[in-house]
Amino acid sequence: MKAHAVRVALFAAFSAATLGLAFAQDPAPAAPAPVGSDQLPVPEAPAVTGTAWLLMDYATGRVLAGENVDERVEPASITKVMTSYVVAAEMKAGKISADDDVMMTVNAWRTGGAGTDGSYSGFEVNKTAKLVDMEMGMTVQSGNDAAIALAEHIAGTEAAFASLMNAHAARLGMKGTHFVNATGLSAPDHYSTARDLALLGRALARDFPEHYAYNAIKEFTVGPITQRNRNVLLWRDKSVDGIKTGHHSGAGYCLMASAKRGDQRLISVVMGSTSESQRAADSQALLNWGFRFFETHQLYGAEEPVATQKVWKGQSNELALGVAEPLLVSMQRGQYARLQPSMDVPRTLVAPIARGEAVGKVRVMLDGKLVAEAPLVALEEVPEAGFFKRLWHELLMWWQSI
- Domain with residue 96: its CATH number is 3.40.710.10
For residue 16, tell me if it sits in a domain.
yes
Whole-angstrom Cα distance, residue 150 to residue 211?
14
**In the Cβ-directed half-sphere of 136, how many Cα atoms lie within 13 Å?**
18
The boundaries of the domain holding residue 220 are 52-273
- Extract the runs of DSSP E, i.e. beta strands, from 117-236: 128-130, 219-222, 225-228
Q: How many domains does the chain have?
A: 2
Task: Please state, in angstroms and rounded to a whole number, the distance separating the CA atoms of residues 204 and 210.
Answer: 9
User: Could you give the 3-state DSSP secondary structure of residue 265?
Assistant: strand
Q: Find the catalytic residue in 119, 121, 142, 342.
A: 142
In this structure, the answer to whether residues 237 and 339 fall within a common structural domain is no
Verify that 249 and 337 share a domain, yes or no: no
Terminal-residue alpha carbon distance, the chain: 42
Is 80 annotated in the active site? yes
Active-site residue, 142 included:
yes
What is the spatial distance between Cα 318 and Cα 321, in angstroms, rounded to a whole number? 10
- 138 Cβ partners below 8 Å, 6+ apart? 80, 83, 84, 121, 146, 147, 150
* Residue 290 domain-assigned (yes or no): no
Query: Do 262 and 339 reside in the same domain of the chain?
Result: no
Q: Are 326 and 302 a contacting pair, CB within 8 Å?
A: yes
Q: Is residue 38 part of a domain?
A: no
* Same domain as 316, residue 188: no
Per-residue confidence of the chain (402 residues) as pLDDT tens digits?
Answer: 345 444 444 444 333 333 333 333 333 333 444 445 556 688 999 999 999 999 999 999 999 999 999 999 999 999 999 999 999 999 999 999 999 999 999 999 999 987 787 899 999 999 999 999 999 999 999 999 999 999 999 999 999 999 999 999 999 999 999 999 999 999 999 999 999 999 999 999 999 999 999 999 999 999 998 999 999 999 999 999 999 999 999 999 999 999 999 999 999 999 999 999 999 999 999 999 999 999 998 888 998 898 888 999 989 999 999 999 999 988 889 888 889 888 888 888 999 999 999 999 999 998 888 988 999 999 999 999 999 888 898 888 888 887
Active site residue 401: no
| Residue 97 neighbours by CB distance under 10 Å | 11
**DSSP string over 347-386:** S--BS-B-TT-EEEEEEEEETTEEEEEEEEEESS-B-B--
Q: Is 193 within a domain?
A: yes
108 and 242 share a domain? yes
